[in-house]
Amino acid sequence: MKSRTTTAGWHNLGMEWKEHVVWFAPIAITMAAYVSIKYRSSIREHPQVRKAVLVFVITAFAAAGVAGYFGAMINKHAPVNGGSTIHWMGGSH
């Protein structure tokens, strides 16, 4: 819910993140689990693969954490308290 027109930009940014960016998290975690299970015995011999899997896991958790934060702020905090005014390029919509 957009409580104020001045915070509509924050709402749009948060919703875009929640709807379009966070889809990466389950894909990355699934990939990491598959690689870890499939190459369980030989992953120690390949430090680059191990690091790549770790990067995907960290990125997935970070994307999910940001989405959770935006969800909490949009659904709980923003309708009650509002927030700073945000202005996007291109004027008001």
Tell me, yes or no, whether 66 lies in a domain. Answer: yes
Q: Using CA atoms, how far apart are residues 66 and 58, in angstroms rounded to an integer? A: 12
Residue (of 3, 1, 13, 2) closest to 87 by Cα position: 13
pLDDT digits (tens, 9 = 90+) for 37-64: 999 988 889 999 999 999 999 999 998 8
Tell me, yes or no, whether 20 lies in a domain. Answer: no
Chain-centroid distance of CA 55 in Å reads 14
Query: Which range marks the domain in which residue 63 is found?
Result: 26-81
Q: Are 14 and 71 in contact (CB under 8 A)?
A: yes
Tell me, yes or no, whether 59 lies in a domain. Answer: yes
Mean pLDDT in residue range 19-37? 88
Tell me, yes or no, whether 15 lies in a domain. Answer: no
**Which pTM does this prediction carry?**
0.64
Number of domains in the chain: 1
Tell me, yes or no, whether 5 lies in a domain. Answer: no
pLDDT digits (tens, 9 = 90+) for 73-86: 766 655 555 555 55
Tell me, yes or no, whether 17 lies in a domain. Answer: no
DSSP of 79-90, one letter per residue? HHH-------TT
